[in-house]
Amino acid sequence: MELLKKTFIILFILILLVGCSMLVSYLLPYPFSNINIIFIFLIIFMMARDSGLVVWISFFTNFFTEIYSSTPFGLILFSGTISILIIFWLYKTIFTNRSWYSAMALVSLALLLYRTLFIISLSLLKIFGLTYLTFEKTTFIIFGWELLFTCLLTGVVYFVLSKFFKSFKASPIEHGLFKI
């Protein structure tokens, strides 16, 4: 019974996260509507908990996002989950401290990987005739706004959280390859 209760709570939180992401994209004015709330949450969660659970959270949040997307099914799911998996690997092996600028670097890399995988996957689907979606002239401008505002908001959120919670304090990560 306890497992069922935890499962429903986690599902509710994930659906709430996807809802907040959609709310931001629909209610905020143009450049601010490109903030990616899901990636901010995933990076902050990953750095706070230091757990591979972030990949599963990414999978399910991207799955719920995919339900409301107009892109071919699996495109967001694949791109989002693989990018977080690679970022988690980088976090476990390369990055050596917990700080606001590490959080900003991780979210920047995650978004670049996400959008690169998204573009490559969509292009492959178009080449094989499985979709007719094309990129508009403003696509890369929108991606740039997303990267800028998501990166800045991640740094601010992480900095504020580090003032209140011990797990967010700038400290060396025990699992990095390169220890200083």
Helix (H) or strand (E) holding 77: helix 75-93
How many domains in the chain?
A: 1
Note the pTM of the prediction, 2 decimals. 0.90
Tell me, yes or no, whether 131 lies in a domain: yes
Tell me, yes or no, whether 177 lies in a domain: no
pLDDT at 172: 60
pLDDT tens, position by position, 53-105? 999 999 999 999 999 998 999 999 999 999 999 999 999 988 877 888 899 99
Q: The domain containing residue 76 runs over which residues? A: 2-168
pLDDT tens, position by position, 105-160? 999 999 999 999 999 999 999 999 988 888 888 999 999 999 999 999 999 999 99
- Could you identify the residue written with the tokens 């497992």? 3
Tell me, yes or no, whether 67 lies in a domain: yes
pLDDT at 142: 95
CB 156 within 8 A of CB 162: no
* Mean pLDDT of the 5-9 span: 91
Residue 177 has pLDDT above 70, yes or no: no
Q: pLDDT band for position 179 (50/70/90)?
A: very low
pLDDT at 171: 63
pLDDT tens, position by position, 36-67? 999 999 999 999 888 899 999 999 999 999 99
Classify 9 as helix, strand or coil.
helix
Q: pLDDT band for position 180 (50/70/90)?
A: very low
* Mean pLDDT of the 6-27 span: 94
**What are the CB-based long-range contacts (under 8 Å, 24+) for 11-19?**
11/60, 14/57, 14/60, 14/61, 14/64, 15/64, 17/41, 17/61, 18/61, 18/64, 18/65, 18/68
pLDDT tens, position by position, 148-175? 999 999 999 999 998 888 777 766 655 5
Tell me, yes or no, whether 22 lies in a domain: yes
Tell me, yes or no, whether 19 lies in a domain: yes
pLDDT at 99: 86
